[in-house]
Structure 1
Amino acid sequence: MGRDVEHVVFSREDRRRFRDKHRSCLDVLAQMLAESQFDFDRPMTGMEIELNLVDDRGEPANVNARVLELVADPAFQTEVGQFNIEINVDPREIGGNGLHDFEQAVRSSLNSADERARSDGAHLVMTGILPTLKPRHVRIEAMSANPRYAALNDQIFAARGEDVELAVDGVERLSTYADSITPEAACTSFQLHLQVSPAQFAQYWNAAQTIAGAQLAVGANSPFLFGKELWRETRIPLFEQATDTRPEELKEQGVRPRVWFGERWVTSVFDLFEENARYFPALLPICEDDDPAEQLARGEIPALAELSLHNGTVYRWNRPIYAVVDGRPHLRVENRVLPAGPTVVDAVANAAFYYGLVRTLAEQERPIWSQMSFSAAEENLHSGARHGLDATLYWPGVGEVPAVELVLRRLLPLAHAGLDSWGVEPAVRDRLLGVIEGRCTSGVNGASWQVDVVHDLQRAGADRTAALHGMLERYIPNMHSNEPVHTWER
Structure 2
Amino acid sequence: MGRKLENREFTSADFEAFNQRIHQQADRLKSAITQPNFGQQPPSLGAEIEIYLLDSHGEVNPVNQQLIDLLGDNQFQTELNQYNLELNLSPVPAQGTPFSAMVLEMLDKYQKLLGAARQLDVKPLAIGTLPTMREEKLTGEYMTREGRYRALSRELLRRRGQQFEIRINGDESLNFTTPEIVVEGANTSMQVHLTAKPEEFADVFNASQLTLAMSVAMGANSGVFMHKCLWDETRVALFKQSIDSRIHKDGSWRPPSRVTFGKGWVRKSAWEVFAETVNLYDPILPQLFDEDPAVDPPVLAELNLHMGTTWPWNRAIYDHHGNGHLRVEQRALPAGPSAIDMAANAAFAVGMISGLKENVDEYLARLPFDYAEYNFYRAAKQSLNASILWPQKYQNKPVEVAITSAVDEMLRIANDGLSQLGVELSERDKFLNIIHRRLVTGVNGAIWTKKTYQHYKKSYSDEKACQLMLERYYEHQYAGEPVAHWEQLWR
Q: Give TM-score scaled by structure 1 length.
A: 0.96
Q: 1:319 to 1:210 in 2, by over 3 A?
A: same
3-state DSSP of counterpart to 1:328: coil
Q: Which residue pairs with 1:452 in the alignment?
A: 451
- Contact 2:39/2:198 (8 A) holds in 1: no
CA distance in 2, matches of 1:387, 1:251: 33
Q: How does 1:48-447 map to 2 (within 5 A)?
A: 48-249=48-249, 253-267=253-267, 268-290=269-291, 295=293, 298=294, 300-325=296-321, 327-364=322-359, 366-397=361-392, 399-408=399-408, 410-447=409-446
Q: 1:47 to 1:299 in 2, by over 3 A?
A: closer
Matched to 2:279, the amino acid is R
Q: Which residue pairs with 2:35 in the alignment?
A: 35
Give the CA deviation at 1:328.
2.5
CA distance in 1, matches of 2:301, 2:265: 26
Matched, 1:472 2:460: no
CA distance in 2, matches of 1:371, 1:254: 29
3-state DSSP of counterpart to 1:211: helix
Matched to 1:150, the amino acid is R
3-state DSSP of counterpart to 1:371: coil
- Contact 2:130/2:226 (8 A) holds in 1: no
Matched to 1:177, the amino acid is T
CA distance in 2, matches of 1:5, 1:209: 31
Q: 1:119 to 1:365 in 2, by over 3 A?
A: closer
CA distance in 2, matches of 1:301, 1:418: 30
Q: 1:365 to 1:486 in 2, by over 3 A?
A: closer
**Residue deviations 1:262-304 (CA, integer Å, cap 9, x gap):** 121012111111111111000001112337xxx2xx4633210
- Paired positions, count: 482
What stretches of structure 2 of length at least 5 have no aligned partner? 394-398
Matched to 1:71, the amino acid is L
Give the CA deviation at 1:365.
7.0
Give the CA deviation at 1:42.
1.5
CA distance in 1, matches of 2:251, 2:347: 37
3-state DSSP of counterpart to 2:128: coil
Give the CA deviation at 1:251.
10
CA distance in 1, matches of 2:312, 2:270: 13
Matched to 2:467, the amino acid is H
CA RMSD in angstroms comes to: 1.4
CA distance in 2, matches of 1:183, 1:261: 20
> Does 382-391 or 25-34 show the bigger shift?
25-34
3-state DSSP of counterpart to 1:419: helix
Q: 1:101 to 1:290 in 2, by over 3 A?
A: closer
Q: Identity of counterpart residues, as a percentage?
A: 35
Matched to 2:472, the amino acid is R
Matched to 2:255, the amino acid is V
CA distance in 2, matches of 1:188, 1:424: 28
- Contact 2:32/2:297 (8 A) holds in 1: no
CA distance in 1, matches of 2:22, 2:295: 20
- Contact 1:223/1:229 (8 A) holds in 2: yes
Q: Which residue pairs with 1:488 in the alignment?
A: 486
CA distance in 2, matches of 1:273, 1:300: 19
Matched to 1:375, the amino acid is D
- Contact 1:308/1:322 (8 A) holds in 2: yes
Give the CA deviation at 1:35.
2.7
Q: Which residue pairs with 2:461 in the alignment?
A: 463
**Residue deviations 1:179-219 (CA, integer Å, cap 9, x gap):** 11100111000000011111111100000000111111111
Matched to 1:440, the amino acid is L
3-state DSSP of counterpart to 2:266: coil
Q: 1:251 to 1:309 in 2, by over 3 A?
A: farther
**Residue deviations 1:72-105 (CA, integer Å, cap 9, x gap):** 1110000001110000001011221222111111
Q: 1:175 to 1:252 in 2, by over 3 A?
A: farther
CA distance in 2, matches of 1:411, 1:323: 30
- Contact 1:361/1:367 (8 A) holds in 2: no
Q: Give TM-score scaled by structure 2 length.
A: 0.96
Give the CA deviation at 1:33.
2.7
CA distance in 1, matches of 2:263, 2:418: 29
Give the CA deviation at 1:39.
2.5
- Contact 1:79/1:185 (8 A) holds in 2: yes
3-state DSSP of counterpart to 2:324: strand
CA distance in 1, matches of 2:151, 2:38: 33
Q: 1:74 to 1:250 in 2, by over 3 A?
A: farther
Matched to 2:355, the amino acid is T
What stretches of structure 1 of length at least 5 have no aligned partner? none
